[in-house]
């Protein structure tokens, strides 16, 4: 079957909009942190926030990715266990011009999910048993390309920075509000004006920071979709994978990291709505359909040695698979 060429102009229009949104959201998050730090302790607060953020970020970037793999009970796959998957990943890594091929990890879970950790020099892509068995190779290639794009674009680092900024904003807000209320009798006794505007801002800052972080996550997901199509030249494959994931398990698969998320309203989603993602993908080739029409098949021998597939485990920090 002959397919129409991709509309690269449409792809770059979407990508430019995503990049502008990313910079605005990152700038907004940093501005909110600086404002909270200034209300909390003036210039000294800003210096403390920058220094503390640098330390937290350095530690999290080194330790967090591999901790995630251990918490998921992920194990590295061998090429002989999943040769088709390794061939796809090797080709995608070459097309993405990554310095090293990401390691492929396997999670014995019925959930259909995939996520990436690390950076371009040292990274890993984790796939669940449900994903490997539930998608065709064409669909699986689209999902792999999406995760490879996250690695190439440095999205793991961007989201780590956003998470650090959000946590620092929350900490500054909590301490600042406590100090302001402790000093409230002093303001009232001396007739000094109570800084209600500062109190209101500190109270609202954690919520605003979380909303900005979620919006940033949605922008990076859109961008990874577009770059995945640039690697595969096949928007229909990724669109079909997204449709399958939505049909099989609804929104539960939209978790890049362990824990729960709030799917509605759209302002509180970590991922864009699946129908919106599919619409953007199919706009890259006008007239395309969201389901695979070319011959396709599932892996012939997916993961030869499969351990017992377990369900979700509940912890105080959320649901882990």
- Per-residue pLDDT tens over the stretch 211-232: 888 888 888 898 899 889 888 8
Is there a contact between 29 and 165 (Cβ–Cβ < 8 Å)? yes
**Cβ partners under 8 Å of residue 224, min gap 6:** 146, 147, 149, 150, 153, 155
Q: Report the greatest alpha carbon distance in the chain.
A: 81
Please provide residue 300's backbone torsions phi and psi, each rounded to the nearest 5 degrees: -70, -40
Is residue 23 over pLDDT 50?
yes
Could you report the per-residue pLDDT of 133-175, keeping only the tens digit for each?
Answer: 889 999 999 999 999 999 998 888 888 888 888 888 888 788 7
Q: What is the rounded radius of gyration, in angstroms, for the C-alpha atoms of the chain?
A: 22
Q: Strands, DSSP E only, in the chain? A: 75-76, 103-107, 114-118, 123-128, 313-315, 318-320
Average pLDDT of the residues in 193-220: 81
Share above pLDDT 70 across residues of the chain, in percent, rounded to a whole number: 71
Cis peptide before 265 (omega within 30 of 0): yes
Annotated catalytic residue within 147, 221, 236, 254: 147
Is residue 21 over pLDDT 60?
yes
**Cβ partners under 8 Å of residue 215, min gap 6:** 21, 25, 267
107-111, 127-131, 280-284, 308-312: least confidently modelled range? 308-312
Is there a contact between 216 and 162 (Cβ–Cβ < 8 Å)? yes
pLDDT band, very low/low/confident/very high, at 262 (cuts 50, 70, 90): very low
Q: Are strands 123-128 and 114-118 parallel, antiparallel or unpaired?
A: antiparallel
pLDDT band, very low/low/confident/very high, at 99 (cuts 50, 70, 90): very high
Q: Which residue did the predictor score with more confidence, 190 or 8?
A: 190
How far apart are alpha carbons 104 and 89 in whole angstroms? 8
98-112, 276-290, 294-308: least confidently modelled range? 294-308
pLDDT band, very low/low/confident/very high, at 3 (cuts 50, 70, 90): very low
Is residue 295 over pLDDT 60?
no
90 carries an active-site annotation: no
Mean pLDDT, the chain, rounded, equals 76
SS3 of the chain: helix, strand, coil, percent, to 5:
65, 10, 30
Q: Which residue did the predictor score with more confidence, 310 or 260?
A: 310
Query: Which helix (H) or strand (E) element contains residue 138?
Result: helix 137-153
Domain coordinates of the chain in residue numbers?
8-291
Which of 14-18, 43-47, 182-186, 241-245 has maximum average pLDDT?
A: 241-245
Closest CA to 36 of 55, 49, 23, 52: 49
Per-residue pLDDT, 182: 75
Is residue 2 over pLDDT 60?
no
Is residue 83 over pLDDT 50?
yes
- Residue 100, Cβ density class (10 Å: 0-12 exposed, 13-18 middle, ≥19 buried): exposed
Per-residue pLDDT, 76: 92
Instruction: Tell me 291's DSSP state.
Output: S
Share above pLDDT 90 across residues of the chain, in percent, rounded to a whole number: 17
Per-residue pLDDT, 225: 92
Could you report the per-residue pLDDT of 44-77, keeping only the tens digit for each?
Answer: 777 877 777 777 766 666 666 677 788 888 899 9
Torsion of CA 43, 25, 117, 298, to 10 degrees: 170
Give SS3 for 94: helix
The span from the first CA to the last CA of the chain, in angstroms, equals: 39
Is residue 102 over pLDDT 90?
yes
Per-residue pLDDT, 292: 39
Is there a contact between 287 and 173 (Cβ–Cβ < 8 Å)? no
Question: What global pTM score does this model have?
Answer: 0.77
- Residue 301, Cβ density class (10 Å: 0-12 exposed, 13-18 middle, ≥19 buried): exposed
Closest CA to 128 of 318, 314, 316, 306: 306
Is residue 100 over pLDDT 50?
yes
Give SS3 for 128: strand
Q: Are strands 123-128 and 103-107 parallel, antiparallel or unpaired?
A: parallel
Per-residue pLDDT, 300: 66
Closest CA to 125 of 164, 94, 86, 162: 86
Q: Please, which residues bridge with residue 315 across strands?
A: 318
How far apart are alpha carbons 223 and 124 in whole angstroms? 19
Is there a contact between 204 and 112 (Cβ–Cβ < 8 Å)? no
């Amino acid at each position: 079957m002959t397919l129409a060429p991709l509309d690269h102009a449409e792809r770059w229009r979407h990508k430019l909009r995503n990049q502008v949104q990313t910079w605005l959201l990152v700038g907004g998050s940093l501005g909110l942190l600086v404002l909270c730090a200034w209300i909390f302790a003036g210039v000294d607060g800003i210096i403390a926030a920058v220094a503390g953020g640098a330390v937290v970020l350095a530690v999290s970037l080194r330790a967090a990715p591999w901790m995630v793999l251990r918490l998921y009970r992920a194990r590295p796959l061998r090429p002989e266990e999943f040769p088709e998957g390794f061939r796809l990943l090797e080709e995608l890594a070459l097309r993405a011009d990554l310095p090293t091929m990401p390691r492929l990890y396997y999670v014995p879970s019925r959930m259909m999910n995939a996520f990436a950790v690390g950076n371009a020099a040292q990274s890993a892509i984790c796939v669940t048993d449900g994903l490997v068995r539930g998608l065709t190779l064409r669909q699986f290639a689209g999902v792999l390309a999406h995760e490879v794009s996250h690695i190439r674009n440095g999205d793991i680092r961007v989201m780590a920075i956003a998470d650090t900024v959000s946590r620092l904003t929350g900490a500054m807000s909590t301490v600042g509000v406590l100090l302001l209320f402790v000093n409230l009798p002093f303001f009232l006794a001396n007739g000094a004006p109570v800084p209600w505007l500062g109190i209101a801002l500190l109270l609202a800052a954690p919520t605003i920071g979380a909303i900005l972080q979620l919006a940033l996550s949605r922008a990076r997901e859109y961008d990874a979709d577009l770059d995945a199509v640039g690697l595969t030249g096949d928007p229909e494959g990724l669109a079909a994978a997204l449709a399958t994931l939505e049909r099989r398990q609804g929104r539960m698969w939209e978790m890049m990291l362990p824990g729960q998320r709030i799917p509605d309203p759209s302002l509180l989603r970590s991922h864009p709505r699946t129908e919106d993602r599919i619409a953007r993908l199919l706009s890259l080739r006008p007239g395309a359909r969201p389901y695979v029409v070319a011959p396709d098949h599932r892996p012939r021998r997916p993961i030869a040695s499969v351990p017992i597939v377990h369900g979700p485990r509940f912890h105080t920090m959320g649901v882990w698979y």
